[in-house]
Amino acid sequence: MSTTTESPALHIQPDAAALAHAAAELLLERANAAIADHGHVSIALTGGSTPRVLYARLADPELRGRTDWARWRVFFGDERAVGPEHADSNYRMAREALLAHVPIPATQVHRLAGEAALYPGTLEDYTAALARDVAPNPALRGGFPGFDLLLLGMGADGHVASLFPGSPALEETTAWVVVNPIAQMGTRRLTLTLPVLNAAREVWLIVTGANKAERVQQAFAAGEDDQTLPVMRVRPRAGKLVWWLDAEAARLLPKRHTHPQS
């Protein structure tokens, strides 16, 4: 799979813990580079089990002193149709693993109000925050907010954020954030749309576990026009795509990907 600008970068780590450690180090480097370049870093967090380990690592006393958290602008790529205290809330997970432990000004943490899935009228606030705090990617037209770093997980069905196979939000070309009905789950979720994902300057796909190996193999084998899985449609238009895999998720990849030097 490739993006329009450059081939994806691939980091393979033995397991989720090692991945989280390595990814945290590089994430801080990227964040500090963005801060040095334009005074802040805009980042979209994702839900998921591996990202949670990454967030906890960022909050570790050994690392958390390595960045100026006052320069961070935090958003969420998606959220379940629940409030911030619900066990399923991505916001709650990120708050417990990271946000409660680092001094990011509260006005710079933008919760995607999961309860809005029931009352879509409140999406305007989130869209306004994106317009205010996430500048468009200077290399692109269209004015979509271009995150410095946008984190994604991937489900075993190839979904990213809350863009599930066959869900209507996959076809959204203008709105930045939508309520997306997920028929296969009998629920609705809030999600950033593909134009926003693909306007990011750097997108990280953080995927671990043997149950993801087949979709990872499928994604890497996909041609430019193959849109079978939502993950295949993540192609930053003027940015970098980075895969973070553990050995289990990478086990079906051909050697040319896992041992490029060989």
Q: Per CB under 6 A, does 184 bind ligand 6PG? A: no
Q: CB within 8 A of 136, min separation 6: which ones?
A: 142, 143, 144, 145, 146, 199
- Least distance (Å) between residue 36 CB and ligand 6PG: 29
Q: Per CB under 6 A, does 114 bind ligand 6PG? A: no
Please, where are the H alpha helices in the chain?
Answer: 16-38, 49-58, 61-64, 90-97, 123-133, 194-197, 213-221, 255-258
Residue 67 or residue 117: which is nearer to ligand 6PG going by CB? 117
Q: Per CB under 6 A, does 155 bind ligand 6PG? A: yes
**Greatest CA separation for the chain:** 54
**Number of other residues whose CB lies within 10 A of the CB of residue 7:** 11
Residue 162 or residue 180: which is nearer to ligand 6PG going by CB? 162
Q: Per CB under 6 A, does 49 bind ligand 6PG? A: yes
> How far is residue 74's CA from residue 197's CA, in Å, rounded to a whole number?
15
Let me know how long the chain is: 262
Of 42-50, 65-73, 95-103, 246-254, the window that binds ligand 6PG (rule: CB under 6 A) is 42-50
Q: Per CB under 6 A, does 161 bind ligand 6PG? A: yes
Q: Per CB under 6 A, does 2 bind ligand 6PG? A: no
Structure tokens at 72: 């961070």
Q: Per CB under 6 A, does 229 bind ligand 6PG? A: no
Binding residues for ligand 6PG, rule: CB under 6 A, are 46-50, 78, 90, 153-155, 159-162
